[in-house]
Structure 1
Amino acid sequence: MKIILAGSTGLVGREVLELCLACESITSIVALSRRELPASVTQNPKLKVVILDDFLSYTDPVLQEINGADACIWTLGKTPTTDSEAARKVCLDYTLAAVAAFEKVAENNKDGNGNETLPTKKIRFVYCSGAAAERDQTKSLWFIQEYRRIRVRLCLLYGILNVYANSQQGQVENELLAHAAAHPDSFELYILRPGMVLGKEMTLKDRLVQGLAPSVKVDVLAGLMLDVALKGGSQDIFENSAINELGRGSN
């Protein structure tokens, strides 16, 4: 099985990558990254790191690398800042550019009459969103309005205070759901909406955070993302409670 992974330098992405490397069912991993990954992982022969200087542009060589993928696990994102345009670019534009790239791969595998010259696999796209994402773009929100409408995955980690709230999905999710509905033969979508993401080794701070709002340990979240990438899921959207319930028994 061939997996595409984006966001492998982040907390969740690093854990997903470790699980992918250890999974016997996965024979090929293509990590899309702005920079090289540590030698401790790149020495594994089934990992190929593809350096993307611009996540909005997929050149023909990059398209060739992602061709034939069975699934993509997307953990790339940006925590909220005063620069909402930067958050929009990373969370929304980068994600949709990747989706468009997979569609271009499918089109490149067809002749002028629309017949496949090369077999194209239906991509299983597993997206890590957040519990406070807001799908209703007209709704008035009481905190970090723009970011929640875009995506929102906030966490309380390492002394950085963010906030979680039960809400609906954001603009990225709307776009992904619309794309999945329009391309049922080539795009299979799953969305995970974790609360606060905690480290594997529970610190005192993590234990305090657990009592403040919905949370999930990173290994539980990553385990379920990989499980869904491998097998599909019983539902399209996994809220934090479902992630905790199903993630502990995954893999």
Structure 2
Amino acid sequence: MKLILTGSSGLVGHEILSQYLEHPSPQVVLMEDFSSYPKTTLEAIKGADACIWTLGVNPKKMFDDGMARRVNIENTMTAVRLFNDSCQKPFRFVYCSGYLAERVRPSGSGSFKTTDGQVETEFLTFDDENPAFESYILQPALIKPRSNPNESVIAIGPSIKVHELASKMLNLALEGGTKKRSKNSEINQEL
């Protein structure tokens, strides 16, 4: 299986990469810029079976809303369209969203509380319009690292261990699933 993984330098992406490299004959595509796709990159992703998208920025931690929108929405949707056109069919796209992402119905009105909510809406609309595109959205809450130097710290509120989230995302990319969107509690129940 050929897998595209974004955000591999982050907590979740790094864990997914570590687990994926343990699989027999993993194929890895390295990309550094997700705003453009030169010919060499298009050749590298050709024939990919799935993508796990863990790339994003927290708009609340950025002073530039435009940058957050470009990274979280525009880069994601550019990749979705490109991968759908260039990769194997069916193509699986596993998206790591946010616990508090709020979507609006495409026909409804209102604002998005987060860019995750907007990209989820666009993403699921694209999924509905493209039957050979399988999308999965996971909405983890607090993600606990594999090693916690202070084990006495207990998360107040919903949480998930990074290796469990990574395992779930990797399994969806490799095997697919029936549920398109899973919240933190649902992810934990399925483990």
TM-score normalised over the length of structure 2: 0.89
Q: Partners of 1:19 and 1:182 in 2: how far apart?
A: 32
Which AA in structure 2 matches 1:222? A
Match of 1:190 in 2: 136
Which AA in structure 1 matches 2:22? A
Match of 1:37 in 2: none
C-alpha displacement of 1:245? 2.3
Which AA in structure 2 matches 1:102? F
Match of 1:215 in 2: 159
Runs of 5+ unmatched residues, structure 2: none
2:136 aligns to what SS in structure 1?
strand
Match of 1:101 in 2: 82
Residues 98, 139 of structure 2: 8 Å contact kept: yes
1:175 and 2:154 correspond: no
Q: Partners of 2:153 and 2:138 in 1: how far apart?
A: 22
Match of 1:128 in 2: 96
C-alpha displacement of 1:74? 0.4
C-alpha displacement of 1:205? 7.2
Match of 1:8 in 2: 8
1:131-177 C-alpha deviation (Å, 9 max, x unpaired): 101113615xxxxxx6x4311xxxxxxxxxxxxxxxxxx00000110
2:63 aligns to what SS in structure 1?
coil
Residues 8, 16 of structure 1: 8 Å contact kept: yes
Q: Partners of 2:158 and 2:149 in 1: how far apart?
A: 17
Aligned residues: 185
Q: Partners of 2:158 and 2:114 in 1: how far apart?
A: 20
1:20 and 2:1 correspond: no
Match of 2:147 in 1: 201
C-alpha displacement of 1:203? 3.8
C-alpha displacement of 1:215? 0.8
Residues 84, 91 of structure 2: 8 Å contact kept: no
Match of 1:57 in 2: 36
Q: CA RMSD in A?
A: 1.8
Q: Partners of 2:74 and 2:29 in 1: how far apart?
A: 20
2:114 aligns to what SS in structure 1?
helix
Larger Rg over CA atoms: 1
**Higher relative contact order structure (alpha carbons within 8 Å, sequence separation ≥ 6):** 2
1:64 aligns to what SS in structure 2?
helix
Which AA in structure 2 matches 1:89? R
Q: What pairs up with 1:151-166 in 2 under 5 angstroms? A: 151=116
Q: Partners of 1:246 and 1:29 in 2: how far apart?
A: 27
C-alpha displacement of 1:206? 7.6
Which AA in structure 1 matches 2:97? S
Match of 2:64 in 1: 83
1:29 and 2:28 correspond: yes
1:190-243 C-alpha deviation (Å, 9 max, x unpaired): 0000001110123437833x1x22111111110100011111113111110121
2:102 aligns to what SS in structure 1?
coil
1:233 and 2:180 correspond: no
Q: Partners of 1:94 and 1:206 in 2: how far apart?
A: 39
C-alpha displacement of 1:181? 0.6
